[in-house]
Amino acid sequence: MSGYLRRLATTGAAYTAASILSKLIAVALLPLYTRYLTPADYGAAEVLFAAVVAASIVVRLGVIEAVLRFYYKSGEDPARVLSTSFAALFWLATAAALVALPFAEPISEALNDPGADLVRISIGGLWVLTLHEYLLTIFRLEERARAFFAVTIANVLAAIALTVALVVGADEGARGLLLGSYASGAVFVLGLIVVHRRRISLRVDRPLLRRMMRFGLPTMPAELSLYMLNFVDRIIIVRAAGFAEAGLYSLAVKFAQAVNVLVRGFQLAWPPLAYSIRDDNEARRAYARVVTYFIAACAFVVTGMWLLSRWIARALAAPEFFASYEAVGLISTAVTLYALYMVQVVILGRTGRTELNLPATIAALVANVVLNLVLVPPLGIVGAGVALVASYLVVVAAMYGFTQRLFPVPYEWGRLARVVLVSAVLVALGELLLPTEGFAGLAGRLALLLAYPLALLASGFFSREERRTLARLRHPGELLASYRALRDRQPEVDGRVPEAYEAEIRDEDARL
């Protein structure tokens, strides 16, 4: 088995497990938080959390992306790469925080005035998040999977304990959410500095840093523009409708975590599989088939989110947050489109033309801003959800144009159309014919959801070969042997998720 697959089975698996567990905990805490927070408090905290992530992407200047590459690069000293990159991030984050602190009032006014005190906490959070991200990266570089998992989960549990004490016990509202996350994170940053003290320093090797910046800095605009798709809508919602509406939208994003978990597994499994196929023609056929299967699986979950969003909102949030259900289906659809974008990122990686990511993400960001400005004032969070879906359609369409010109893939459009049609029909039937509350409505919608595989079968989605394969499920040993044979192929290029998008994923996981 290749060295990459060994890394995937250790660091990747630990990271995925930590991510999924943190997301499950976050969702489980929503009934508690939403009963002690107003929608406006929740919206203010979520907007500032997102602002910190966006600012951290800028402050890092691609350094974390560069260290992931230079640590293994021939001719570079790994110890010097670590010490220089930490020093650079420490001084960058410290300088950014010190420069921003005097401007807390103007920043608060620009964000529709959540409060200068909250902004000051978030500025401290910028320092914490940037260094915490880097210090966890050292565990990944050293393939210390258990340490990575243990520190991540310990940090999550500590943040929960402090947040609950502040929000529930001390009635601190949005301030409690921010302090709970960043104060506990600061303790872990200091602890990790002690743990890694022999590998880090505050002295910068300037020639090495310049080489790293030449590699890492160009990744920053693409990463920032992609993340801004998930941030700019909240700013526009705040300006147009207030923090309460932003709180409802942020809660809808949390509810869509079911699709996020599925997408996360795909993000880690897809690159090594995609790169392991050496023959281009075989790769094209495999890529098309994988996209078909993945969209079919996502459509099942997205259909469930559309049909059951009202019951999810009632079960996991206080009554004043119920309206968040209106955007759940749209955001779930957008997450699936994001996964399609990641498919195309890997195809570009196969061609070596990754610089084309930037124009695609910029086009999507422009579309997102324009559509939010037009749709949010009359439609609220529904307008923001429509804008997010449309902007991801823009980035997918742009990337499709780039990848088809460089590496044409024969996507199975007829089968994909059947998936979309079946999902849309089931959702329409549920919304038009079934009750929107009570046991009868829930049971009817669950029955529609469970009919999804049968509806696909009736639509002619499955080929004769696939129907035979489904019959083989009675013999799981054969399927496992087939998977092992595919898994053991040697990848011809680096199979990691592109660094910029790993960083975005990890930043999002840092928030409960």
Give the pLDDT confidence of 450-470 residue by residue, as tens digits. 999 999 988 988 887 777 766
233 & 147 share domain: no
Least confident of 99-108, 294-303, 380-389, 487-496: 487-496
Q: Do 113 and 179 sit in the same domain of this protein?
A: yes
Q: Of 183, 198, 217, which residue is a domain's last?
A: 217
Residue that finishes a domain, picked among 189, 217, 245: 217
Give per-residue pLDDT as tens, 58-70. Answer: 888 888 877 777 7
- How far, in Å, CA of 16 to CA of 152, rounded? 11
Provide the domain limits for residue 318. Answer: 225-499
CA distance 275 to 294: 17
My answer on whether 377 and 489 are in the same domain is yes
Co-location of 249 and 394 in the same domain: yes
- The pLDDT assigned to 474 comes to 60
pTM value is 0.79
206 and 243 within one domain:
no
pLDDT in tens, 188-229: 999 999 988 888 888 888 888 888 888 777 777 877 877 887
Q: Are residues 229 and 209 in the same domain?
A: no
Question: Taking each helix axis from N to C terminus, what angle separates 243-255 and 39-60, rounded to the nearest 10 degrees?
Answer: 70
Work out the average pLDDT over 309-324: 91
pLDDT of residue 490: 47
pLDDT above 90 coverage of the chain, percent? 34
Q: How far apart are CA 319 and CA 329, in angstroms?
A: 19
Indicate the residue type of 248.
Answer: L
Q: Is residue 80 part of a domain?
A: yes
Q: Are residues 404 and 346 in the same domain?
A: yes
Residue 446 has pLDDT above 80, yes or no: yes
User: Residue 410 pLDDT > 70, yes or no?
Assistant: yes
242 and 124 within one domain = no
Q: Quote the CA–CA distance of 489 and 105 in Å, as a whole number.
A: 56
pLDDT given at position 427: 94
Mean pLDDT lowest among 122-136, 263-277, 331-345: 263-277
Average pLDDT, the chain: 82
When divided into structural domains, the chain yields a total of: 2
Last residue of one domain, picked from the residues 217, 244, 265: 217
In this structure, the answer to whether residues 8 and 126 fall within a common structural domain is yes
Q: Percentage of residues in the chain with pLDDT exceeding 70? A: 83
Is 506 among the domain residues? no
Sorted by sequence, the CB contacts under 8 Å of residue 344 that are 6+ apart come out as: 396, 399, 400, 402, 403
Angle formed at CA 16 by CA 12 and CA 22, multiple of 5 degrees: 145
**Best CA proximity match to 12, nearest among 191, 158, 139:** 139
Name the amino acid, one letter, at 423. S
Q: Are residues 100 and 126 located together in one domain of the fold?
A: yes
Instruction: Check whether 5 has a pLDDT greater than 80.
Output: no
Q: Does the pLDDT value for residue 14 go beyond 60?
A: no
User: Shortest CA distance to 287 belongs to which of 301, 275, 300, 302?
Assistant: 275
**Residue 475, pLDDT score:** 60
pLDDT of residue 354: 66
Q: Are residues 445 and 427 in the same domain?
A: yes
Q: Check whether residue 30 and residue 59 sit in a common domain.
A: yes
Report whether pLDDT(501) > 70. Answer: no
Between the two ends of the chain, the Cα-to-Cα distance in Å is 36
Q: Smallest Cα–Cα separation from 217: which of 88, 74, 131, 95?
A: 88
Residue corresponding to tokens 């005190």: 117
Place of tokens 């609950």: 164
